[in-house]
């Protein structure tokens, strides 16, 4: 095994991130050039950078209210709180992200906010399913998203993608309006520019999905470094994948969980994530010291927490996996 497999993975994830963001930026520049001329696209980038640097972050508490999440205070979940504090300390995230409980039997966890005000939400189904070792891996994964500024990075990608879509749609509408002039031979219609206008939104969306998958790989890698236990997170991922696929569906419909090709997924395939994590077991860059406090008992919650609802689909907001 490579003596520095962790460094290799980290470098690969960084290069993929730069290439994907660069590809999205290039598409936006080309679309801006088609519509407004070559001298306009630098101002488009200035506008995007100003927007991302001046717009305030959405409060995580507002987002969590959409899921009826409840704050887990230290006296209610002392084990989880101590585990979260230790993970936050190792990840260098201060203040420690707040923990929230979602009354749902779905198996999910997600992080929201920024490093200055972050929160991690855990569903009741996840807390009941995972062991303390596996839960530590999941918490470290979500903390890694916060430490790596993934929310802001994905917001930037989303802004670029939306701008590309808006400008492409505007260009196509202008081409349709000028179609009579084109047919009369009065106005030219550059075919390459029109094809670019049609293809750019789809290409930008694919690059954005690819960026999301790369950041998941990086969060897995960072989580392994935080906990010193890549097997714990790998076990959690395998257990979540297995629980989400019932026995009769695995027998009768073995491919029902994967109807879309890999290019259309926000998360990488679980098998690939597990394979990469297990490769890190003997890597010298993964510290070999336990993350769990000696007396941690897992995600037990007091009986005062409310009734758990079955999983349900949301039209406008999705629970992140």
**CA 226/CA 157 separation, integer angstroms:** 27
Q: Tokens 């918490």 belong to which residue?
A: 139
Q: Tokens 């050039």 belong to which residue?
A: 33
**CA 66/CA 128 separation, integer angstroms:** 22
Residues contacting 168, CB < 8 A, separation 6+: 31, 197, 198, 200, 201
Burial 198-228 (b: 16+ CB within 10 A, else e): eebbebbbbbbbbbbbbbbbbbbbbbbbbbb
Sign of the CA dihedral running 63, 313, 298, 212: negative
Contact 26, 45 (CB under 8 A): no
Is 134 tagged catalytic?
Answer: no
Query: Among residues 8, 85, 134, 142, which one is catalytic?
Result: 142
**CA 137/CA 224 separation, integer angstroms:** 7
User: Would you name the residues annotated as active-site residues?
Assistant: 142
């Amino acid at each position: 095994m490579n003596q520095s497999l962790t460094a290799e993975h980290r470098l690969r994830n960084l290069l993929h991130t730069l290439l994907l963001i660069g590809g999205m930026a290039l598409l936006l520049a080309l679309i801006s050039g088609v519509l407004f001329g070559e001298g306009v696209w630098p101002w488009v980038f200035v506008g995007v950078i100003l927007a991302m640097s001046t717009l305030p972050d959405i409060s995580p508490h507002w987002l969590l209210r959409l899921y009826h999440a409840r704050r887990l205070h230290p006296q209610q979940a002392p084990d989880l709180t101590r585990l979260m504090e230790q993970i936050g300390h190792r990840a260098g995230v201060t203040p420690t992200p707040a923990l929230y409980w979602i009354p749902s039997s779905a198996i999910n966890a997600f992080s929201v906010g920024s490093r200055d005000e972050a929160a991690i939400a855990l569903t009741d189904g996840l807390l009941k399913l995972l062991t303390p070792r596996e839960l530590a891996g999941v918490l470290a994964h979500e903390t890694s998203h916060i430490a790596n500024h993934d929310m802001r990075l994905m917001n930037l990608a989303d802004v670029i993608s939306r701008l590309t879509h808006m400008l492409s749609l505007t260009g196509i509408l202008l081409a349709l309006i000028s179609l009579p002039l084109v047919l009369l031979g009065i106005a030219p219609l550059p075919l390459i520019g029109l094809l670019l206008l049609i293809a750019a939104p789809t290409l930008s969306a694919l690059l954005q999905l690819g960026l999301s998958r790369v950041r998941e790989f990086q969060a897995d890698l960072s989580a392994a470094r935080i906990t010193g236990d890549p097997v714990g997170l790998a076990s959690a991922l395998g257990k979540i994948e297995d629980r989400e696929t019932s026995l009769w569906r695995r027998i009768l419909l073995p491919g029902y969980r994967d109807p879309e090709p890999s290019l259309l997924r926000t998360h990488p395939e679980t098998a690939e994530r597990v394979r990469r994590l297990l490769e890190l077991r003997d890597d010298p860059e993964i510290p070999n010291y336990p993350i769990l406090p000696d007396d941690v008992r897992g995600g037990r919650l007091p009986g005062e927490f409310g009734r758990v609802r079955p999983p349900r689909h949301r039209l406008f907001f999705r629970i992140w996996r």
